[in-house]
Amino acid sequence: MDVRTLDCNYTEEEGVAAAYLLVDHDEAAFVETNTNHAVPRLLRALEDAHLAPEQVRYVICTHIHLDHAGGAGLLMDACPEARLLLHPRAAPHAIDPSRIVAGATAVYGERRFAELYGAIRPVAETRVDALDDDATVPFGQGELRFLHTRGHANHHFCVRAGDGIFTGDSFGIAYPGLQTRGRFVFPSTTPTDFDAEAAHASVDRILASGAERAWLTHFGEVRDLEAIAGELHRQLDDYATLVEEADTSGREGDALEAFCGERVGALFAAELDRHGLGSSAFLHLLDIDIDLNGQGVAFAVKKRRFKRAH
Ligand SMILES: [Zn+2]
């Protein structure tokens, strides 16, 4: 199996979000689609590999967040034989994207949503397969195996393929431009499902899968899986402590959001210091991640309180 990393130029930056083209004999599959804007790039990669759209057997999204699945509908339109493979909790949202669109609009605002994603196209129910935990599908001369991994999102799976694993957002974010002084990786705690305990378990499951390399959506192939797992476990502990502190602080509404945003900012600043990365060209990208992680932590606090009250 051949794996090609495709830079989707998400947010018009290089090295932020990848999709992957898998080729085995005369079959192709995509893992992640990024947004509608990336679809022409994905089709061009197919052409470069001397494959026709009819040879795409699967379009796979690790979860339904729009930097992973926003282009799925458009890509499925272009690949007439393809089946869309998703987590059972993600599948209904590909068929009817309205709730995902509403959720992302709440996070990004209407204007930014339109710029980033455009119009999300639904996929016909007859072309979508929901994969249970540990399910396999045949591909080329081998198979692909699906491992459900909660923590970042409840509708997330990873894909074991060949000697590697596609980890979506379950095994951290590592921007290539920030890897100059050792491994700089951090967990993604974006709304609305962040759960530190489940995220720890998913990291361990990925490590135990026997994969020798991981393909991160953000961004690219990595081989130091044990070291990355250690970094993620350490930081997930920090996030768990933060959820606890924010909860017991009694803060609500804007005060809660501000507290979580500030504290997440401090966690990132400490990580950057550890790596001496103060002047990196990629720092502006972390503003977005800090903001999203802060929102995710605040959301986790609200969910905890809701659960306790009901
Ligand atoms: Zn995500």
Q: Alpha helices of the chain — where are they, by DSSP H?
A: 39-48, 66-69, 72-78, 91-95, 98-108, 110-117, 196-208, 225-248, 253-275, 283-309
Q: Over the stretch 257-297, which tens digit does the pLDDT of each residue have?
A: 999 999 999 999 999 988 988 777 777 889 999 999 999 99
Res 303 pLDDT > 90: yes
Q: Over the stretch 165-206, which tens digit does the pLDDT of each residue have?
A: 999 999 999 999 899 889 999 999 999 999 999 999 999 999
Assign 223 to helix, strand or coil.
Answer: coil
**Mean per-residue pLDDT, 30-49:** 97
pLDDT band at 45 (very low <50, low <70, confident <90, very high): very high
**Mean per-residue pLDDT, 229-241:** 98
Q: What is the pLDDT of residue 103?
A: 86
239 C-alpha to center of ligand 1: Å?
17
- Please give the C-alpha separations between residue 124 and each of 127, 152, 157, 237, 288, in angstroms, as whole numbers: 6, 27, 21, 41, 33
84 and 76 Cβ atoms separated by less than 8 Å: yes
188 C-alpha to center of ligand 1: Å?
7
17 C-alpha to center of ligand 1: Å?
11
123 C-alpha to center of ligand 1: Å?
20
176 C-alpha to center of ligand 1: Å?
18
259 C-alpha to center of ligand 1: Å?
23
Query: Which pair of structure tokens corresponds to residue 217?
Result: 């959506």
Which of 39, 70, 44, 75 shows the shortest CA–CA distance to 57? 75
217 C-alpha to center of ligand 1: Å?
9
68 C-alpha to center of ligand 1: Å?
7
26 C-alpha to center of ligand 1: Å?
31
Q: Over the stretch 18-38, which tens digit does the pLDDT of each residue have?
A: 999 999 999 999 999 999 999
Q: What is the pLDDT of residue 83?
A: 98
156 C-alpha to center of ligand 1: Å?
8
Q: Over the stretch 56-112, which tens digit does the pLDDT of each residue have?
A: 999 999 999 999 999 999 999 999 999 999 999 999 999 999 999 998 898 788 999
Res 140 pLDDT > 80: yes
Q: Per-domain residue ranges for the chain?
A: 2-224, 229-309
Superfamily of segment(s) 2-224:
Ribonuclease Z/Hydroxyacylglutathione hydrolase-like (3.60.15.10)
- Name the DSSP class of 177: G
73 C-alpha to center of ligand 1: Å?
18
Res 228 pLDDT > 90: yes
189 C-alpha to center of ligand 1: Å?
8
Please give the share of the chain, as a percent, with pLDDT higher than 90: 90
Q: What is the dihedral of CA 158, 221, 14, 56, to 10 degrees?
A: -60
Q: Number of H helices and number of E strands within the chain?
A: 10, 12
- Please give the C-alpha separations between residue 201 and each of 77, 187, 198, 204, in angstroms, as whole numbers: 36, 13, 5, 5
Distance, in Å, from the CA atom of 127 to the CA atom of 136, rounded to the nearest integer, reads 17
Q: What is the pLDDT of residue 163?
A: 97
Q: Alpha helices of 25-137 — where are they, by DSSP H?
A: 39-48, 66-69, 72-78, 91-95, 98-108, 110-117
290 C-alpha to center of ligand 1: Å?
14
Res 128 pLDDT > 90: yes
152 C-alpha to center of ligand 1: Å?
7
74 C-alpha to center of ligand 1: Å?
19
